[in-house]
Amino acid sequence: MKKINSKKGWRFRNNEKKYLNKILKSDFSAGSDNYMSEKFETLFAKKHNQKFAISSNSGTSTLHQALHSFGVGHGDEVIIPALTVGMCGFVVWQCGAVPVYADVDSETFLIDPNDIKKKITNKTKAIMVVHLYGLMCDMDKIIKIAKRYNLKVLEDCAQCFLAYDNKKRISGTIGHVGSWSLESSKHISSSEGGVLTTNNKLLAYKMRKFGGLGFTNITANSGKVRIDKNKFQNPNWKRHNEFGYNYRMSELCAAVALAQTEKLEFFVKKRKNSGNQFIKVINESKSNILIPQKVPKDYIHSYYTFAALFNGKSRGVRWSDFRKKFLNFGGDGIYSAWQTVNNEPCFYKARKKGLYSGSMKISNSYGWGETPVAVKLQKNIMQFTTNQKNSNEIKKQILALKKTIEYYQ
């Protein structure tokens, strides 16, 4: 039998296996379904001081569930940052609505409230903010705008667990809904998975119902469908009183998600430690070849990744050369930013044709230069990994960066 690489899997070595065994032994809890997901939801809600948490099969599904609960539909517009993953745009399209791209701040890389204001029309229904790389957006300004125009606010925290703003508020708890991804690269993971939180019972009900196939007996608190066999096993029982998707988290994923949530603070602390060490080595180098994502005063970054603006062009150093050098010095990789959503081919082509969601016509009034800051940043961002197993692994990355900076000094 092939030997298991002991360096791998360190994130999943505690209750993950115990809970997985439990759920496998239970034949997937037939008759008492959602056992692990309920436990996971209860713990996740508690750690965020929220009344409701709803587990889901991905951090894309969660965004779709949230927009649906806001009533986003055909012809509506949702403002999203241009600098984010395509999934933020996909879910708007999945609602039959149109993503309208707001530019980002050149220093924090986060959605710019001033540009949000400029992009609001009478079709705008919601603002999706993305706490990119683990840093929270300026929620005070965003909530103020949302209140003024009666818009819903969705906080995409896929990359942001237990970050704080300058008022000590936890990421994901300020807008109407918070949304997280538990995909494998995230602070905590169940391979694939997602979770939503809210304090609003109606939104919780709508999100759970939409992701739970519209089963009649779903409530804001519970996705259980097999509640009362005598009532259920009856030819007259009507199962679905609404349309929906099957976005439910599997019990296997929920078993892992529960164990991971138990150690959430541990994983976040580890990434914060890595992020802070990257900053330290850059500050000590006195070089400006990398300019770290700016953390506003009294904000606490959760460092899903350490992101910096590459500033080597002026001295003739290419992005790809810097990356190669970093790898040569033992670095484990530098990731580039995704295309801005408006420049991903599917969104670009839809906009160019003036068509969206099938035959829906869209206005082209925003033109193409509407997010110049995001477009420029995208080409120059470097993302460094922060998910090292231990201090030796972190040291290796920091040393590689130190040597790379010195090489180009």
Ligand X SMILES: Cc1ncc(COP(=O)(O)O)c(C=O)c1O
Taking the CA atoms of residue 183, residue 186, residue 189 and residue 194 in that order, the dihedral angle to the nearest 10 degrees is -50
Count other Cβ atoms within 10 Å, centred on residue 149: 14
Taking the complex as a whole, the smallest distance from the CB of residue 377 to ligand X amounts, in Å, to: 15
- Identify the DSSP state of 93: H
Using CB under 6 A as the binding rule, whether residue 128 contacts ligand X is answered as: no
Nearer to ligand X, 183 or 321 (CB): 183
Q: Determine how β-strand 77-81 pairs with β-strand 98-102.
A: parallel
Q: Which residues of 318-353 are buried (b: 16+ CB within 10 A; e: fewer)?
A: ebeebbebbeebebeebeebebbbbbbeebeebbee
Taking the complex as a whole, the smallest distance from the CB of residue 277 to ligand X amounts, in Å, to: 23
How do the residues of the chain divide into helix, strand and coil, expressed in percent and rounded to 5? 40, 15, 45
Using CB under 6 A as the binding rule, whether residue 88 contacts ligand X is answered as: yes
In the chain, DSSP finds a helix count (H) and a strand count (E) of 14, 13
Binding-site string for ligand X from residue 9 to residue 48, where x marks contact by CB under 6 A and - marks none:
----------------------------------------
Using CB under 6 A as the binding rule, whether residue 130 contacts ligand X is answered as: yes
Nearer to ligand X, 257 or 401 (CB): 257
* Identified binder of ligand X from the candidate list 36, 78, 87, 381, rule CB under 6 A: 87
Nearer to ligand X, 244 or 312 (CB): 244
Binding-site string for ligand X from residue 165 to residue 194, where x marks contact by CB under 6 A and - marks none:
----------------x-x----------x
* Identified binder of ligand X from the candidate list 45, 83, 85, 162, rule CB under 6 A: 85
With contacts defined by CB under 6 A, name the span among 54-62, 66-74, 170-178, 217-225 that binds ligand X.
54-62
Using CB under 6 A as the binding rule, whether residue 158 contacts ligand X is answered as: yes
* Identified binder of ligand X from the candidate list 105, 115, 138, 156, rule CB under 6 A: 156
Closest by Cα among 389, 402, 168, 395 to 270:
389
* Encoded tokens for 391: 């201090």
Please tell me the distance from the alpha carbon of residue 7 to that of residue 13, in angstroms, as a whole number.
12
Closest by Cα among 146, 156, 92 to 362:
92
Which residues are CB-neighbours of 123 under 8 A, at least 6 positions away?
Answer: 75, 76, 77, 98
With contacts defined by CB under 6 A, name the span among 83-91, 223-231, 257-265, 373-381 that binds ligand X.
83-91
Terminal Cα distance for the chain, rounded:
49
Taking the complex as a whole, the smallest distance from the CB of residue 193 to ligand X amounts, in Å, to: 7
Taking the complex as a whole, the smallest distance from the CB of residue 7 to ligand X amounts, in Å, to: 24
Using CB under 6 A as the binding rule, whether residue 163 contacts ligand X is answered as: no
* Identified binder of ligand X from the candidate list 84, 378, 385, 404, rule CB under 6 A: 84
Please tell me the distance from the alpha carbon of residue 227 to that of residue 53, in angstroms, as a whole number.
20
Contact in structure between 386 and 274 (CB atoms under 8 Å): yes
With contacts defined by CB under 6 A, name the span among 24-32, 84-92, 112-120, 322-330 that binds ligand X.
84-92
Using CB under 6 A as the binding rule, whether residue 385 contacts ligand X is answered as: no
Residues contacting ligand X: total by CB under 6 A: 14
Report DSSP letters for 140-160, one per residue: HHHHHHHHHHT-EEEEE-TT-
Taking the complex as a whole, the smallest distance from the CB of residue 154 to ligand X amounts, in Å, to: 11
Taking the complex as a whole, the smallest distance from the CB of residue 184 to ligand X amounts, in Å, to: 9
Which residues are CB-neighbours of 352 under 8 A, at least 6 positions away?
Answer: none
Using CB under 6 A as the binding rule, whether residue 159 contacts ligand X is answered as: yes
Q: Determine how β-strand 98-102 pairs with β-strand 124-130.
A: unpaired
Nearer to ligand X, 282 or 381 (CB): 381
* Identified binder of ligand X from the candidate list 58, 190, 340, 386, rule CB under 6 A: 58
* Identified binder of ligand X from the candidate list 34, 60, 274, 387, rule CB under 6 A: 60
* Identified binder of ligand X from the candidate list 23, 41, 59, 362, rule CB under 6 A: 59
Count other Cβ atoms within 10 Å, centred on residue 18: 11
The site for ligand X (CB under 6 A) is made up of 58-60, 84-85, 87-88, 130, 156, 158-159, 181, 183, 194
